[in-house]
């Protein structure tokens, strides 16, 4: 039996998305920058996708820039903020994705940017009082970079609260929304954010394609040069087939969002209840069992002790889960997120991230319980 519970790492492509991508590969093969009919057809597909994607966020098509995924989008935003928008101070946290953390580290070395980290609460959330304090400590141009949904724990950020604090202090706000796009609705007129990011493979679309939103008026200094694609924001021929696949995946996600949310939350609640029954001392990192402040997709559990090779043994039984971000799965250092929010003693215990999708079933979860019971 094969059971996939690592949907925060990537999701299976839906058949409808594969069909759209396949059709595009067969019939829309022109270069979008070419002026002949084949090129114009390709350009039309790209711009239609851009327009349709923009509608979900209540923004204009010109504010959407296609990228190769969330990591490139984060890099583009952060570097642009420093090199083009005059940002001298970046406020972030210790639990961000490495696409943000490592980019900030590089910018600090290269441009001597001041970096401040907001305090974390015991439940894994951001200390908004400390954020407000940090925002008031300088009159220099500030960028706040905090993720909407933590990719390891599922902890939710209050985007509206942070947006208000940034506006009150004349700071720019970037949120890595890779784990949120396709799973939560976000109206960028009601919740003003200057920059967001998305990656299609997190919501059943193709890998290697995503986008970033740049609020109109901020301006973009390209990171990739050598062409005028994406209105000069990013050189390189657009990945047409993946872009239209992303558009289709997003349409399906938002057309069915309420039903899918309820179904997946039901799976997660069932999983939590059964884990508590078979393992009474189980803990949930960053209160990931609380639906009020955690994504319905992600559950990060901490077992009462260290269980050596648990992920390996689960894999042998056909169960895919994770110890943290897939981007650092080869690291021997462990999860930087859990190390930031847990005591040294608790961090040594085995933690596993289970992440769900609408393709999972209760029958699959029952099999996982059976296997966990035999391994613990």
Catalytic one among 235, 311, 320, 327? 327
3-state secondary structure at position 277: helix
Residue 272 is part of which domain span?
A: 3-11+256-375
Encoded tokens for 76? 């583009």
173 and 304 together in one domain: no
Question: What is the gyration radius of the CA atoms in the chain, in angstroms?
Answer: 21
Whether 162 and 260 map to the same domain: the answer is no
Considering the domain architecture, whether residues 97 and 202 belong to the same structural domain is answered as: yes
Could you tell me if 262 and 245 lie in one domain? no
Q: Contact at 8 Å (CB) between 349 and 305?
A: yes
Domain boundary among 255, 281, 299: 255
Q: What is the CATH number of the domain that holds 296?
A: 3.90.1150.10
Q: What is the pLDDT of residue 217?
A: 86
CA 346 to chain centre: 26
- pLDDT, one tens digit per residue, over 275-333 is 999 999 999 999 999 999 999 999 999 999 999 999 999 999 999 999 865 554 444 56
Q: Is 166 a catalytic residue?
A: no
Whether residues 349 and 202 fall in one domain: no
Q: What is the pLDDT of residues 331-346, one digit of tens each?
A: 456 899 999 999 999 9
Residue 232 shares a structural domain with residue 286: no
102-110: Cβ within 8 A, 24+ apart: 103/74, 103/75, 103/78, 103/79, 104/78, 104/145, 107/78, 107/79, 107/82
3-state secondary structure string, 60-75?
CHHHEEEECCHHHHHH
Residue after which a domain boundary falls, among 238, 255, 272:
255
Residues 186 and 63 in one domain: yes
Asked whether residue 57 falls in the same domain as residue 205, the answer is yes
135 shares a domain with 22 = yes
Q: Please give the Cα distance from 152 to 9 (Å, whole number).
A: 9
Question: Is a pLDDT exceeding 80 seen at residue 259?
Answer: yes
Q: Which two three-digit tokens encode residue 15?
A: 């058949």
Q: What is the pLDDT of residue 376?
A: 86
Looking at every residue in the chain, the average pLDDT score rounds to: 95
User: Based on the structure, what is the number of domains in the chain?
Assistant: 2
Q: Which residues pair with 91 in a beta bridge?
A: 116, 144
Q: Which two tokens stand for residue 258?
A: 């309420």
Boundary (domain end) residue, out of 255, 272, 294 = 255
Q: Check whether residue 7 and residue 116 sit in a common domain.
A: no
pLDDT band at 218 (very low <50, low <70, confident <90, very high): confident
* CA atoms of 357 and 355, how far apart (whole Å): 7
The secondary structure of residue 340, as a DSSP letter, is H
Confidence at residue 330, expressed as pLDDT on a 0 to 100 scale: 45
Looking at the structure, tell me whether residues 50 and 96 fall in a common domain: yes
Token pair 């759209």 is at which residue?
20
Claim to verify: residue 232 and residue 281 sit in the same structural domain: no
According to the model, what pLDDT value does residue 219 have?
83
28-53, pLDDT tens digit by residue?
A: 999 999 999 999 999 999 999 999 99
CATH of the domain at 79: 3.40.640.10
Do residues 232 and 33 touch, judged by C-beta distance below 8 A?
Answer: no
CA nearest to 11, candidates 333, 260, 214, 316: 260
Cα(376)–Cα(192) distance, integer angstroms:
47
- Paired tokens of 287: 């209160």
**Strands 210-214 and 319-320, sheet pairing:** unpaired
């Amino acid at each position: 039996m094969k059971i996939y519970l690592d949907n925060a790492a990537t999701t299976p492509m839906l058949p409808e998305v594969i069909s759209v991508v396949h059709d595009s590969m067969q019939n829309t093969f022109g270069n979008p920058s070419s002026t002949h009919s084949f090129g114009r057809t390709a350009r039309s597909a790209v711009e239609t996708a851009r327009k349709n994607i923009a509608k979900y966020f209540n923004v204009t098509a010109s504010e959407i820039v296609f990228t190769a995924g969330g990591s490139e989008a984060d890099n583009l935003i952060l570097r642009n903020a420093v090199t083009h928008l005059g940002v001298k101070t970046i406020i972030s946290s210790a639990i961000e994705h490495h696409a943000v953390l490592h980019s900030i580290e590089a910018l600090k070395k290269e441009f001597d940017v001041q970096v401040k980290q907001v305090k974390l609460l015991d439940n894994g959330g951001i200390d908004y009082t400390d954020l407000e304090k940090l925002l008031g400590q300088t009159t220099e141009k500030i960028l706040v970079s905090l993720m909407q949904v933590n990719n390891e724990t599922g902890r939710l950020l209050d985007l509206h609260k942070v947006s208000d604090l940034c506006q009150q202090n004349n700071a720019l706000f970037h949120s890595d929304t890779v784990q949120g796009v396709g799973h939560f609705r976000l109206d960028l007129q009601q919740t003003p954010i200057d920059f967001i990011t998305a990656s299609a493979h997190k919501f059943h679309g193709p890998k290697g394609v995503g986008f970033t939103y740049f609020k109109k008026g901020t301006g973009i200094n390209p990171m990739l040069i050598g062409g005028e694609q994406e209105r000069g924001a990013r050189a390189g021929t657009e990945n047409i087939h993946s872009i239209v696949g992303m558009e289709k995946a997003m349409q399906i996600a938002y057309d069915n969002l309420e039903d899918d949310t309820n179904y997946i939350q039901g799976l997660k609640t069932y999983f939590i209840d059964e884990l508590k029954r078979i393992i009474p001392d189980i803990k949930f990192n960053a209160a990931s069992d609380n639906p009020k402040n955690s994504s319905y997709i992600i559950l990060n559990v901490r077992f009462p002790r260290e269980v050596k090779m648990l992920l390996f043994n689960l894999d042998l039984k056909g169960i895919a889960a994770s110890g943290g971000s897939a981007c650092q799965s080869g690291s021997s250092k462990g999860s930087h997120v859990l190390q930031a929010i847990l005591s040294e003693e608790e961090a040594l215990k085995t933690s596993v991230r289970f992440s769900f999708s609408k393709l999972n079933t209760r029958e699959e979860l029952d099999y996982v319980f059976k296997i966990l019971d035999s391994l613990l």
